[in-house]
A and B are shown apart, each in its own frame.
Chain A
């Protein structure tokens, strides 16, 4: 068929001289007259990890969707193995060996691993689905990824996020993928899982696949990729060898300027005020136990921990989503009963959730209505009037530096960074001064990320008490004035500002020596 490598063939070394497996040239795409991609070139070679980098709205996702045929380009050509192709449908691309793994997986939670992998092309024997063969094939695919620990007959719902991702990768491989597009694959993974994923990616690379890898995390790109293409405003800024470029240069290519420093300075001791939030012996049956913590005015306390350590559960308990069943919570020295989010809201607490689309925003509503959501919740029922009048929303959005076309724009059309600013504005509207951030910059590009960090620090300087959960170690180290590390549903250790990643990982894993945890 072609001269390209197929899985199972002897690995080809990842040299820059390899012929392009997939090559797109002159791709342009616009939606409603807005140009999203303009004359973009990109190619990926067999056995190469090619990272695609850019701020939100730079056109990365659109480009990947063009590659995977989820969008049709307005102009440009796609060559697969040197041959020009037109994909009419994502399935068409998949059958020809181009698969994409989206951030949100396309798996049916109530079907088994094998049923998901062979969805739509179940092997049939004597008129009935041959489950045994399906499971055997699934086992083989999983083993090839070093994931034999996932049982083919397990329901996808029962798997961890990392395992579900592995199932997605297996599914792509079952189509004999030659090019695999991965859209921010580590966004929801713990450091351990990320390391395991990298192993798998390298394995695929050795098998001769070409991998297009989208990420915001520069560190990952340097670890994995051979080449990096940077997009900005729908154009290609350049393609560089990862070994020949520095972080600083990449950031400059992405944002078009130097970012002076990544994180704002920590709070000085005289900036710290009274203890605003205190928990003693907090517990949620089966999830959390013996939680002791306090957060002072002016302070950002970071919470680190692996996935499943109880990080999010802690935030949910504090905000009354799944309230503490035992222990004592004090706000400003007074014992409070935070049984519902509303009770927490009344204590002037705010919660920027991990999943901003499902828990932070009402997607079909306008910026204005989302910004006022919590404020209205506190008001009387039959009065739509707001203290401060209509100008208040404008002020609010100015405070969070929101750049939306209009306050009447539906939030689902905003970028991730701008969406997060609307969530933040929602809490600022209620004058919340005890703020819980769960993964505040997940899926947000570098430029907007710095903006959110700057805002958080400004809020702390203005006297807010902030608890910040993050699975990104550089972020939690960069932002925290103090740090709590969680393990097994409780706080396993406390660290001062600027600890090393090793110390955090030791506490988070409970391992004595560094081993693989580093």
Chain B
């Protein structure tokens, strides 16, 4: 019984939306365009979710009254997500961004029920007519900070606090290490798997353990600024994650990989509003402004600055790819031939480490 009512409502609602432009075009043009966001964490995490919410705020600033944004935060990855996405769909949002890998199946599922609405899923690989995917090439940023690390590290050993060995994290570790080895061929990266995305006290202790083991530069693929604070306290260098975290560690913070979703969100909302939106897969990097570098610390030497800028420039103009052959993994397997550049498919399935990584 309820299903009939529900589905009627859906079809009626969707149908009404489709015919309205002809019937009452003026009225609809004035109604704000609804954009919804599903967040995995609280907007106050100052990490992953926070950066997406900055993107949402940029949208509001850009389009003002023309759009209306809303979000649901702290959504558990699983069945709760399907409900939350449906809630945004029923609340009149026409474009919905779901911003965590675990929202993939629920997004696809809800998108089927709302064929007229458009969905964008971050970091996933399943797409549909009305579901696009997007992600950022964070490994490009890793290559830049790896270059800085190669110049700035005296011991030639960096500590890397990582969450889980998924391709995203693995390619970051490799990109960082390869870039540093271009500066210092003996460069080594010691990885601690924290088995969590967020546990500030543990992240800080992991940083301390890495420093104890001779690492004089710390980088991370976990969410909080705790590792930077530990680096500051111990007098070693570190890089921020997801946003400029220099406030937490003014001396240690050499730079940070900044996630900037605002450009992409502004573009996609515009396309959705003018009808040119199409499903697809966007994997944007430094060139697209999706990945940015926070201002360099005064401590970064001129040589390091120059090298880092050159890497950025090379990535932007296409002359440099962080994964270029010849490249062998730790077991001696050749992964890339001389001069060959890693394909996106290879990157998105990466489960091997380059020499110099202790994972």
A and B assemble together: no
